[in-house]
Structure 1
Amino acid sequence: MKKRPSKIFKDTVITLVYAIVAATIIRLFVFETMMVPTGSMIPTINIGDRLFIEKITFQAREPEIGEITVFWTPFRDERAQQMLRAFDKFMDLFSPKEFKGHVKYVKRLVAKEGDVITLKLVDGKWKLFVNGEIPENLRDVNYLPEGVFEYPELWNYLDKASRLRNNQTEYRKFLYELALKKGSKFANIVFSIVGGMEPVKYGIPYYEYVDKYLKPKNINFEDYIWKKNGQVFVKIPNGFYFFMGDNSRESLDSRYFGFVPKEAVIGRPILRIWPLKNFGPVQPIGIK
């Protein structure tokens, strides 16, 4: 006996509803995808790669040092938002409430809470030392002493600049005085990150991150960054991680924006699904 059209329509709708509910549950708790908009992890991960992210593992354990990790930015990265495609914007509608309007970054975890890190030259290459040693999983990765390792006061100035960003007159004055005081290179770094006016219209409203994640925990940057014998040291506060990109010269990472709260971690990329010619697993260095 043939089904009536109304019955077929009803069954189809029910099936679609079940499929949407199942897909939403999977998206929220098990898997999701991301498109990589920058080259911060080259050659490990390339611009335009689409990654399949597994979320279960980091619900059972913390990421390990050296492990590639995907996390929500603890601030709104307006520039990266402009680079997202329609599919990514749609999927991010399912993002947690506290990260609405944020984007995903993929970097390598290099330090956890309580760790003290610094960069030193070893055989002509800059290596990251964690608690006085180079972690086994980071021995093959080289970094540059930029960002906070070059300018220990950087994060404080990002906070100050971002609070003036909506007042163009005061913002321009601040950047001009900063260039006179700290040099044009430092002022340009602050402007390139904070943005807010031509030719860098989009950027990071950094003060939102400070007010939401640091001030409630009474975290002051100067308590966690110090210089000794010309060496800059950074201590990771409780409840935070420190991430860096493999392509150190082109990576906007914790050297520039600071500590990442643990709750921002999403999962680990396990599969590159696009482009098809590079389809395959994403293998973190030294992580099995």
Structure 2
Amino acid sequence: MTKKRNEIWEWTKALIIAVLLAAIIRYFFFAPIVVDGLSMMPTLHNHDRMIVNKIGYTVGKPKRFDIIVFHAPEGKDYIKRVIGLPGDRIEYKDDTLYVNGKAYKEPYLDQYKKEVMDGPLTEPFTLKDYINRDTVPKGELFVMGDNRRYSRDSRAIGTVPMKKVIGKTSLVYWPLDRFRSVAYDKN
């Protein structure tokens, strides 16, 4: 009887430790997230499931074109692409991104640019048009969805404070037929 009780106690301890470890990992390090909507098409699809790396920005800083998850003003979590870093001057003209006067290619938009027949994918603008400033404020990010015509992003909600950023995401793990990394290396 004592042997059986000890075995049950050992299994119970192992289960409690496993649940605690899973909770700690999910809360502090990595968490799943489900894409809700079409604002990141064609890169991300509605209902794609991804992993959010919550610790990446505690030891590093966001890079241009990272895909991040953040707490939006509406009380939801948004998934968008970092376009402007603190101190950057952002401008779009002729469907081209200019950061501090330098043109950047955005190959993740090529598919949609080919499909658009009635004007540019991204309407021309400067930061002044949306946030009434010439540069992205210190400690904040300017973000946009890849589906530029149908994205609620910094053009509507303003810049995103770093304290609202949950983390970086770059791995789609579900559905399995779309399992892939969506990290963009501009180099």
Q: TM-score, normalised by structure 1?
A: 0.55
**Equivalent residue for 1:134?**
103
Over 3 Å counting, the alpha-carbon distance change for 1:150 and 1:239 in structure 2 is: closer
CA contact (8 A) 2:28 2:55 kept: yes
CA distance in 2, matches of 1:15, 1:140: 45
2:123 to 126, 132, 145: 145
What amino acid maps onto 1:144 in structure 2?
T
**Equivalent residue for 1:283?**
183
The count of residues paired between Structure 1 and Structure 2 equals 177
Tell me how large the CA RMSD over aligned residues is. Answer: 2.6
SS at match of 1:246: coil
2:2 counterpart of 1:7: no
Q: Between Structure 1 and Structure 2, whose CA radius of gyration is higher?
A: 1
Query: 1:99-137 CA deviation, whole Å, 9 max, x = no partner?
Result: xxx33211110001111112111xxxx12211111235x
**Equivalent residue for 1:251?**
151
- Structure 1 residue 149, shift from structure 2 partner: 5.9
**Equivalent residue for 2:116?**
none
SS at match of 2:18: helix
- Structure 1 residue 9, shift from structure 2 partner: 3.5
Over 3 Å counting, the alpha-carbon distance change for 1:140 and 1:236 in structure 2 is: same
1:262 to 136, 159, 162: 162
- Structure 1 residue 32, shift from structure 2 partner: 0.7
Q: Give ranges in structure 2 of 5+ residues lacking alignment.
A: 114-120
**Equivalent residue for 2:33?**
34
Q: Give ranges in structure 1 of 5+ residues lacking alignment.
A: 78-101, 155-220, 225-233
Over 3 Å counting, the alpha-carbon distance change for 1:134 and 1:275 in structure 2 is: same
CA distance in 2, matches of 1:150, 1:238: 14
- Structure 1 residue 25, shift from structure 2 partner: 1.4
Q: TM-score, normalised by structure 2?
A: 0.81
CA distance in 2, matches of 1:106, 1:33: 12
What amino acid maps onto 1:119 in structure 2?
Y
**Equivalent residue for 1:65?**
64
Q: How does 1:190-229 map to 2 (within 5 A)?
A: 221-222=131-132, 224=133
- Structure 1 residue 3, shift from structure 2 partner: 2.5
CA contact (8 A) 1:244 1:253 kept: yes
Query: 1:137-156 CA deviation, whole Å, 9 max, x = no partner?
Result: x366465228x86994x7xx
CA contact (8 A) 1:67 1:287 kept: no
- Structure 1 residue 259, shift from structure 2 partner: 0.7
CA contact (8 A) 1:69 1:267 kept: yes
**Fraction of identical pairs, as percent:** 33
Report which of the two has the higher share of helix.
1
